[in-house]
């Protein structure tokens, strides 16, 4: 684990976060700068820098299954929701610990900005 990584700090209980869901493999928190009425981050507990750094493909099912489970539990299916992974600074990744954005509660444009 990277002790300077802000999401590792949260996973380790050393960083403040509003945690909605947690299991052995993932933690789901509220984004501190929400871009939609619902803006959550699904974070694997094991440090992986980005989508491009994934070595174990089960990481995808772990984070995506958790995202869908939380979305269902929050009743987001009917209104729809968006799952986003920014990979690399050029795509807007600012925290170098893999995370899936779960966004809902408003109409989303396409293509994304």
Question: Among 5, 20, 21, 31, which residue sits at the site for ligand AMP (rule: CB under 6 A)?
Answer: 31
Q: Quote the CA–CA distance of 72 and 104 in Å, as a whole number.
A: 12
**Could you say which residues in the range 33-62 bind ligand AMP, by CB under 6 A?**
33, 41
3 is catalytic: no
**Least distance (Å) between residue 15 CB and ligand AMP:** 6
97 makes contact with Zn ion (CB under 5 A): yes
Selected catalytic residue, list 39, 97, 99, 101: 99
C-beta of residue 30 within 8 angstroms of C-beta of residue 12 = no
- Residue 29 in contact with ligand AMP, rule: CB under 6 A: yes
What residues are annotated to the active site?
99
């Amino acid at each position: 684990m990277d002790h300077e990584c802000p999401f590792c700090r949260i996973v380790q209980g050393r960083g403040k976060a509003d945690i909605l869901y947690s299991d052995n493999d993932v933690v789901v928190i509220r984004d501190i700068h929400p871009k939609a009425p619902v803006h959550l981050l699904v974070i694997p507990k094991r440090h992986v820098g980005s989508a491009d750094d994934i070595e174990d493909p089960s990481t995808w099912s772990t984070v995506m299954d958790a995202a869908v489970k939380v979305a269902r539990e929050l009743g987001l299916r009917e209104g729809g929701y968006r799952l986003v992974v920014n990979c690399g600074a050029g795509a807007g990744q600012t925290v170098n610990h893999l995370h899936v954005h779960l966004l809902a509660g408003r109409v989303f444009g396409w293509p994304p900005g």
